Structure 1
Amino acid sequence: MTLTFAAPSDAARPLHLVAPEDLDAFLGGLDAAARAFVTATGFAAKPGQVALIPGEDGPAAAVAGLGSPEARRRERFVLARVRAALPAGDWEIAEEMPEEARDEAALGWLLEGYRFDRYAAQTAPGAQLVAPRGCDAARIEAIAAGEALTRDLINTPACDMGPDALQAAVESLAQEFGAGTTTVLGDDLLTEGFPMIHAVGRAAATQPRLVEMRWGDAGPLLTLVGKGVCFDTGGLNLKPGSSMALMKKDMGGAATVLGLARTIMALKLPLRLRVLIPAVENAVSGGAFRPGDILTSRKGLTVEINNTDAEGRLVLADALALAAEEESALTVSMATLTGAARVAVGPDLAPFYTGDDTLAGVLSEAGTRAADPVWRMPFWDPYETMLEPGIADLDNAPKGGFAGSITAALFLRRFAPESYLHFDIYGWQPTAAPGRPKGGVGQGARALLQALPRALGL
């Protein structure tokens, strides 16, 4: 699947994008026959509403509704709705658009073409778009390709996306862009100092591993750490079936990091990139780690295991400790970490944590501009005591159920370097929306990409 724009062509038909407040002016610019036809269709410029303007050999043009200003604030990717309603062929937006609205429209159009077709044929829209005038087509195509990679990885079930397949995905991406990779595998995790990654993954049929990718030789170092739990049974604290059904997506942090890495490399951003993926399956067997176990992390901190289903923070902790051993301009972790985050903000917002107020402001603004909404959550220091069980340095699952996303973030902060940003994402679109079919979805990556120039001084 290729999410790209059509080449400029004289055969491309004009697509007019009209808001309700501009409808009368638009209709006034049409000839009488076209105006009468559009009016007869009942076209009112509602979001995604389409009217075809006839010509001698079929539709000569189309007009699509953008909706009211309130509707445009509420719904992303309105043009994605339009794509599905247009007949096959090449189309070209007729009007000039403000930069942010133009880029959102163009990206939404491309993302609407995404189909997960690994296991069954899927029909993609036949309508194609010439890149809107003034937009950076290569950048938008790179963003769409990164998002498609993220979605493909999340949507692939664990039978075909175990730790070994996730490693292969990293290596394939590295080969495509001339990056280098190293992997620490199985019992070598113990000798190389990653005991918690080993403990979480040792019960599975496929060995646990830490996969690292490096790209670039100049500029500030950006380190991306992605939770790669390819399937999460909950371990000995076994999940009920209803909670296990979507656990193929528990590597959504790794998938989102890899999609972002792909975009960064495709755009040749002037930075050095380091990607760390602890790839495991949290399974049940005689070798599974147990409630009550105390693990010693790479950093030397001891962790009491009060719930084997709070495993993501364990594998991330070892990876973050490794990241902290080398100075980065910014270290970012992305993880489908807690249900508490979903209770707090729902599936559509990507909550993030940082102690840097300036970075938080830059990221929030970037999320709005990139149509990738994010929401700051607090590193609330008074909750630190909830992490301290008494017989070990840390508790992986504080009792009581309060502030679960915050305490998980505070846990990770104990292992991370000073310049640190954490995303607790959902990674799944529960119902289809414009540009976002039901299934795996990236969250926070576009916001971070938009923020990087200011965050890193690029």
Structure 2
Amino acid sequence: MTLTFAPDTASAIPLHVIAEDALETWLADQPERIKAWVGAAGFTGALGRTLLIPGEAGTIEMALAGYGSACTRARGRFHLAGCAATLPEGTYRLEGLPSDQAETEALGWLLSHYAFERYHSQSPAKARLIAPEGIDATRLEIIAAGEALTRDLINTPASDLGPDALEAACTAIATQHGASIETICGRDLLDHNFPLIHTVGRAAETEPRLIDMRWGKSGPKLTLVGKGVCFDTGGLNLKPGSNMGLMKKDMGGAATVLGLAHMIMALGMPVQLHVLIPAVENAVAGNAFRPGDILTARNGLTVEINNTDAEGRLVLADALAFAAEECPDFIISMATLTGAARVAVGPDISPYYTDSAAMAAALEGAAEKVADPVWRMPFHTPYEAMIEPGIADLDNAPSGGFAGSITAALFLRRFTDGLPYGHFDIYGWTPTAAPARPKGGVGMGARALLEALPKVLSL
């Protein structure tokens, strides 16, 4: 799997990107044999269509990639990645692509080469691309590598990616970038006052842990917190089988945070980066935590457990409380937290919460620029009463089913001590294959955040 651009070469095949309304103009400058070939093939410039044009010696003289219309392009992204998948192996040079689309389409082309082949060979795109002029090719290769890391982690089943293996993945990234890493594991979590992380993970064979990675000596302090539930049975509130099938992806927040951390460190962003990943498996055993239990979090807040399947917010609570103790300039959490978020915006959009106008404004423009859609959701303070059960400070699973993603975000905000904070309630999975996004694990929100961080942190 090579997520890099091809070296420039004079023998590269020209790939002409042609919109439907530009085909006639392009054909006017071509010799009669090419006009006849295009006409006989029925090529119209429709989005995603490709056409190879042979030269007189029978080799490929050029290729055409349909770029559709503004209307059809608006219904998707990474359009040339779809073309890359249908082109034969070779090196291609783009011609005629609008410059404002070069970065997004080039990244999509790189991502079209991703395949998860740990257990079975796949068939990613073979056509390689020379980086278009005017783009930062190194930056895009780093972003693609971060995305591939996220996808690999999410796609790996819990049999091979428990909390210990997730720790090993973090250690590998820390070693690669010269970051420090420390792990608090098992009953040591109690000694270091991480009671919720321990409680959620104590029933599993592999011990729960908090993974703590740090990088950078100067600049604003940025803390990333990722939910690392490596498998979620639902605990004693056992999920039905149909809902358990994708629970290997319940560490998607941790995977996305690690992918983003790789991007930040590889690009040398001038920040002090702190990454916290509570890594657990929510299992069923005689010592599993129970509905009705009341737990005390790291910051002293008590939590009534009304559903053991709402465990992600519990492990994040301890990690967020720890993050807040160091007073960073910004805290960001990412988690595959609620089904309510999927009902609200579907699988392709990253809903996020923040009280920071600067973060919201920066993400608005960044998400569109890098084709990583996000949608701001409200920290609706009047709903605070919904997470206050009376018998304890907080309820981990309010009854009624209303505003499930909002109440989960409000729960998490209680542990940030009023510091600047953003929370992403992501899905982490592509249910149906799309250009540059095969079915399976996917990063969500990381590229938009990477683009927005300089403004958010005033770098």
TM-score range, shorter chain: over 0.9
Aligned positions of 1:74-85 closer than 5 A = 74-85=75-86
Answering whether residue 185 of structure 2 is matched by residue 181 of structure 1, we say no
CA RMSD of aligned residues (A): 0.9
- Helix, strand or coil for the counterpart of 1:14? strand
Check if 1:324 corresponds to 2:324.
yes
Task: Give the 3-state SS of the residue equivalent to 1:74 in structure 2.
Answer: coil
Equivalent position of 2:207 in the other structure: 207
Conserved 8 A contact 1:96-1:133: no
Query: Is 1:60–2:61 an aligned residue pair?
Result: yes
Tell me, what secondary structure is at the counterpart of 1:199?
A: helix
Contact 1:150 1:259 in 2 (8 A): yes
Write out per-residue CA displacement over residues 370-419 of structure 1, whole angstroms, 9 at most, x where no aligned residue.
Answer: 10000000000110000111110000000000000000000000001420
Query: 2 CA distance for matches of 1:88 and 1:63?
Result: 15
Aligned positions of 1:144-159 closer than 5 A:
144-159=144-159
Distance (whole Å) between structure 1 residues aligned to residue 28 and residue 4 of structure 2: 34
1:339 counterpart residue number: 339
User: What residue is the counterpart of 2:219 in the other structure?
Assistant: 219
Rounded to whole Å, the distance in 2 between the matches of 1:5 and 1:145 is 12
Give the TM-score normalised by the residue count of structure 1. Answer: 0.99
Q: Secondary structure at the match of 1:85?
A: coil
Corresponding residue of 1:134: 134
1:165-202 CA-to-partner distances (Å, cap 9, x unmatched) read 00000000000111110000000000101000000000
Tell me how far 1:114 sits from its aligned partner.
0.4
Inter-partner Cα distance in structure 2 for 1:323 and 1:102: 38
AA matched with 2:78: F
Paired residue for 2:440? 439
User: Residue 256 in 1 paired to residue 253 in 2?
Assistant: no
Write the deviation string for residues 339-390 of structure 1: whole angstroms up to 9, x where unpaired: 0000111101100000122321211211111100000000001100001111
TM-score (normalizing by structure 2): 0.98
Percent identity for Structure 1 against Structure 2 = 64
Distance in 2 separating the partners of 1:445 and 1:254 = 11
Trace 1:15-34 onto structure 2 (pairs within 5 A).
15-34=15-34
CA-CA distance at 1:330 after TM superposition: 1.2
Deviates more, 1:32-41 or 1:200-209: 32-41
Matched with 1:419 is 420
Residue 123 (structure 1) shift: 2.7
Report the 3-state secondary structure (helix = DSSP H, G, I; strand = E; otherwise coil) of the residue aligned with 1:359.
helix
Give the match for residue 234 of structure 1. Answer: 234
Distance 1:96 1:318 in 2: 48
Partner of 1:43: 43
| CA–CA distance in structure 2, aligned partners of residues 267 and 18 of structure 1 | 34
Q: How does 1:108-127 map to 2 (within 5 A)?
A: 108-127=108-127
Partner Cα separation in structure 2 for residue 120 and residue 105 of structure 1? 28
Q: Is the 8 A contact 1:158 1:248 kept in 2?
A: yes
8 A Cα contact 2:18 2:96, kept in partner: no
Please name the residue that 1:367 is paired with.
Answer: 367
Check whether the contact 1:147–1:259 (CA below 8 A) recurs between aligned residues. Answer: yes
Amino acid at match of 1:221: K
The aligned counterpart of 1:161 is 161
Q: C-alpha distance in 2, partners of 1:381/1:151?
A: 35
Tell me, yes or no, if the aligned pair for 2:353 and 2:409 is still in contact at 8 Å: yes
In the alignment, the residues of structure 2 paired with residue 218 and residue 51 of structure 1 have an alpha-carbon distance, to the nearest angstrom, of: 52
> Secondary structure in 1 aligned to 2:214?
strand
Q: Distance in 1 between matches of 2:347 and 2:324?
A: 30
The one-letter code sitting in structure 2 at the alignment partner of 1:429 is: T
Q: Amino acid of the residue matched to residue 434 of structure 2?
A: A
Q: Secondary structure at the match of 1:411?
A: helix
Matching residue's letter, 1:173:
I
Give the Cα–Cα distance (whole angstroms) in 1 for the partners of residues 218 and 31 of structure 2: 58
Partner residue, 1:351 = 351
CA contact (8 A) 2:179 2:215 kept: yes
Whole-angstrom distance in 1 between the partners of 2:39 and 2:135: 32
2-structure distance, mates of 1:432, 1:304: 40
The corresponding residue for 2:399 is: 399
Map 1:246-325 to 2 at 5 A: 246-325=246-325
Structure 2 equivalent of residue 97 of structure 1: 98
In structure 1, C-alpha distance between the alignment counterparts of 2:226 and 2:144, rounded to whole Å:
20
Distance in 1 of aligned mates of 2:59 and 2:309:
58
Please say if residues 358 and 455 of structure 2, whose CA atoms lie closer than 8 Å, have aligned partners that are also in contact. Answer: no
User: After superposition, what is the alpha-carbon deviation per residue over 1:2-49, rounded to whole angstroms, capped at 9, x for unaligned?
Assistant: 300100011111011111121111111211111211122111111111
Q: CA deviation at 1:96?
A: 5.4
**Contact 1:278/1:316 (8 A) holds in 2:** yes
Q: Which runs of 5+ in 2 are unaligned?
A: none
Q: Deviations over 1:267-301 (max 9, x none)?
A: 11111111000000000001100000000000100
Q: Does the 8 A contact of 1:379 with 1:410 survive in 2?
A: yes
Runs of 4+ in 1 over 6 A off after TM superposition: none
Task: Give the deviation of 1:95 after TM superposition.
Answer: 2.7
The separation in 2 between residues aligned to 1:433 and 1:448, in whole angstroms, is 22
